[in-house]
Every structure is written in C-alpha cells, then in structure tokens.
Amino acid sequence: MNDERINEFTTEVGQLQLRAGRGDRERLLLAVGTVALVAGIVLTIAGGISASGSAVPADQTAAIATGSYIGLALLIAGAALFIRYSVGRMLRFWLVRIVHEQRTETDRLIAAIESLRSTDKD
C-alpha cells in the first residue's frame, strides 16, 4: 500500500509543474550571507584595531567609518541572510518529515482497520 501512495504522491507533484532551480539560488544566498558575516566580523575588528592604533582623532573617525560601520552593516546583512535561509531549510526538512510520518501512520491505521474487517468476516 505504501508503494501506491508514493506513486500517487509522485504523480501529484509532477502535475504541479513546479519551477526547478530554486535551491541553487537559496544555496547561493546562504553562501553570500556566510561570506558577508565573516567579512563583517573581519572589517569590524580591523576597523577597531586601526582606530585604536592612531592618536589623531580624524584618523580614528575615518578608520571607524570605513572599517567598523561597513563591517557592522555587512555583519547584520550576512547574519540576516544566513538565519533566513538556514531556518528555511530546517523548516522544510521538518515539514517533509512530519508529512512522511503522518502518511506512514495513516497507512498503519488503514492496515489495522482492514485486518480487523477481515477477522470480523471470518
């Protein structure tokens, strides 16, 4: 019975005419988020080190503006992309798992009901 349901599910998915290739874009944006997160951390640290290494206030302000603020912006944007796409992946995994478990449980219930019916007829 489970094979019938798998074939039925495959047929229904085929009829949906979904666009493929969406996973590639999500994987790319997850990688971009990770790179931006790491670059933001590096720029923030580099900006802080270069600002603390200078005694001239104008140089400190320039180092903070170019390093730390840009680094913080990259860090926030990278963290947002990383969290969005990694959480989205995890939620899709759990949704597929829940659907699979529910279908398996339904198949078990149907088999139990059919076995009860067959024993009642005998």
Q: Which residues contact 38 (CB under 8 A, 6 or more apart)?
A: 78
- For the chain, give me the number of helices (H) and strands (E)? 4, 0
pLDDT digits (tens, 9 = 90+) for 87-113: 988 998 899 899 989 999 999 999 899
Q: Distance of CA 83 to CAs 25, 35, 67, 72, 73, Å? A: 15, 13, 24, 16, 15
pTM of the model: 0.62
First to last CA, the chain: 22
- What is the average pLDDT value for the chain, to the nearest integer? 85
Of 38, 36, 29, nearest to 85 by C-alpha is 29
Q: Among 63, 61, 65, 67, which Cα is nearest to 44's? A: 67
Structure token pair of residue 73: 């912006």
Q: Is the predicted pLDDT of residue 64 greater than 60, yes or no?
A: yes
